[in-house]
Amino acid sequence: MKLLSLTIRGFRSFREEVSVSFEPGTYFLLGVNRDDPAFDSNGSGKTSFIAAIAFVLRGRIHTGIAKDKLINNDSDECFVEAVFSNGLIVRRKKKRGQAEGLSYFHEGRWFDGDLAPTQEGLDKILGMSDTLFFQGIWI
């Protein structure tokens, strides 16, 4: 299962919507801080990009930061969508002060509803535990 595209909006340093499509090859995340060039690439979104993958699939990031803190300061909600080569589409959103929403498309239909059972269904498709996800290296 390969990541084909990632869409991020209102998540950490990504205020505006950003969509990235991946073609076969090698990728490097390089950043330029356009808000304050004195900080070079610090704050340009490299870590937030990787954290968005964790958030959409697991509902948290490696640091354990509160979910409302994942929302960009100038946004009311964050949204991340990941599209995979096996047809799986995963969407997660979080509005400030409200519960998060998770939905995914798999084998021709959308799944959503209560968070815990929806996450369990996604976990079965992903085939890895929360611990394995955060302690492993994925390429």
Name the band, by pLDDT with cuts 50, 70 and 90, for residue 5: very high
Using alpha carbons, select from 109, 100, 58 the residue that is nearest to residue 79: 100
How confident is the model over 10-28, as pLDDT tens digits? 999 888 999 989 887 665 5
**What is the per-residue DSSP string for 29-61?**
-----SS-GGGTTTTSSHHHHHHHHHHHHHSS-
- At residue 93, φ and ψ (nearest 5 deg) are -135, 155
- pLDDT given for residue 100 in this prediction: 95
Per DSSP (E only), the strands in 48-113 are 77-84, 89-95, 100-106, 109-112
Give the integer Cα–Cα distance in Å for 43 and 69: 15
Coil, strand or helix at 131 = helix
Q: For the whole model, what pTM was predicted?
A: 0.84
